Amino acid sequence: MRFERKHAVLLLAVAAWNVVTFGQFARNLWSAYDSGEDRATGYWVAHSVLIVVNIAIAAILGSLGWKALRATRR
Domain enclosing residue 42, as ranges: 5-72
The pTM (predicted TM-score) of the whole model is 0.86
Calculate what percentage of the chain has a pLDDT beyond 90. Answer: 89
Alpha-helical segments (H) within the chain: 5-34, 41-72
Residue 2 has a pLDDT of: 81
CA dist 70 and 16 (Å) reads: 17
To the nearest 10°, report the CA torsion of 41, 42, 46, 52. Answer: 30
What SS3 class is residue 67? helix
Q: Cα(73)–Cα(31) distance, rounded to whole angstroms? A: 43
Given a cut of 90, whether residue 74 has pLDDT beyond it is no
| Mean per-residue pLDDT, 59-68 | 96
